[in-house]
Structure 1
């Protein structure tokens, strides 16, 4: 696919828009791609969640953080360059049977935010009441506000209180009026996902967690990204059986 746009959203956070052939019909919120960097030195592909889809325009949008040599190289790649993309991969969030009357909650933080952007839009399109709670270290690192506000209610937290609630997302949710959510979707670091598991364990809400994991192949061959079920009887591959799992079954 060809890069048609690349911009910095926040310090070290970039949005890249790719144009070209892609299996748009099979992609859904929570799916990801494995991106091959334009340099033979970097043999392993990088997994990046899909943040937006535009099938009519034949574009996908990815958001990534520059954390090492590989993502630095991606950030330096010019508009017009061609990138090799493997995907869409993963199971995505289960939204096929979501009803328009449902009250749903999305929870995320940091680089766990991008897949929730596409999910919020999809759930709004179904008629759901969507609430999104996201957290960042500080106001300068915030991105995605408009996308979430356009698709429902946004609850925002920063660790230093520079914008929104001061504290983490779990503390923010604790200040909110009691609500009955039919489904809770979350993506982010394990600490955030564990908070969601604990907070909603005693409710009737269906819980779906999108796990972040280092991946080598993205297609289940190397088994380098396994996660265990809570009963310990089965290991599941994040890249194939995931990245989205039933939050009442998976052990973090």
Structure 2
């Protein structure tokens, strides 16, 4: 159920240079949260009229908390990074269609692929798949070791493959180069979130396999509820203007045109 709530900042920390994790506490429709869902966050400054879409990285109904991870890219997110525990933030959500998890007690092997701020929804997804019994492998990439985050979460829920462009940690190269050296036909499902180039790589890498492909798209959003149609994407079924905020952000990777 879509709700608008004022949640209290419980904690905020910098995970890596310019990457922050903020934990919000309060009443929210936690039961409706699925991996891949997001919220629209209102900054506490009248200069910022539009809400900001942020993926949910973790949700705890018992503790009444959600965690969001974001990168500082401009004045708005810089303001967000300066907010302190005890302050209130207006949240609209949960929004969007999340990842398809499949059956319980599955022993299938699945692969998660992400980079940068595409990692937050995969953190929640890795935990959910692991709890269902899937054998989870996660492949993530960063420019350099100092920018890496989320390793403990992914290692706790399966196997981690890490790449850095400069080789300062893990495999030297990008995630695409890392996967090129892996056998991918064994995976029943692949889930990916990140920039368009990464998603296109996943489409191409798994094109000749029977693997189910699920891609979570990143997009600028004005409303988050499908009204403005400012976050549209095309699909192979000929239906244009599917909205990332409403029909997505997760799409069938064999159908969406990037």
Alignment TM-score, normalising by the size of structure 1: 0.98
Alignment of 1:65-84 (within 5 A): 65-84=71-90
Alignment of 1:52-201 (within 5 A): 52-97=58-103, 100-201=106-207
On the 8 A contact 2:185/2:210 being kept in 1, the answer is no
For residues 184 and 20 of structure 2, what CA distance do their matches in structure 1 show? 36
1:230 is displaced (CA, Å) by 2.5
1:167 is displaced (CA, Å) by 0.6
1:96 is displaced (CA, Å) by 4.2
Please give the secondary structure, in 2, of the residue aligned with 1:83.
strand
- Poorly superposed stretches of 4+, deviation over 3 Å: 96-99
* Residue 18 (str. 1) matches residue 24 (str. 2): yes
> Could you report, residue by residue, the CA deviation over 1:76-116 in whole angstroms, capped at 9, with x for unpaired residues?
11110000000000000011436511110000000001110
RMSD: 1.0
- Structure 1 residues 34, 178: closer, same or farther in 2, change over 3 A? closer
Please give the secondary structure, in 1, of the residue aligned with 2:88.
coil
For residues 191 and 40 of structure 1, what CA distance do their matches in structure 2 show? 35
On the 8 A contact 2:193/2:199 being kept in 1, the answer is yes
For residues 76 and 234 of structure 1, what CA distance do their matches in structure 2 show? 40
Please give the secondary structure, in 1, of the residue aligned with 2:123.
helix
Please give the secondary structure, in 2, of the residue aligned with 1:8.
strand
Aligned to 2:4: none
Aligned to 1:251: 257
Please give the secondary structure, in 2, of the residue aligned with 1:33.
strand
Alignment TM-score, normalising by the size of structure 2: 0.96
- Structure 1 residues 51, 178: closer, same or farther in 2, change over 3 A? closer
1:40 is displaced (CA, Å) by 1.1
Query: Which stretches in structure 2 are left out of the alignment for 5+ residues?
Result: 1-6
Alignment of 1:23-42 (within 5 A): 23-42=29-48
1:172 is displaced (CA, Å) by 0.3
Query: Which stretches in structure 1 are left out of the alignment for 5+ residues?
Result: none
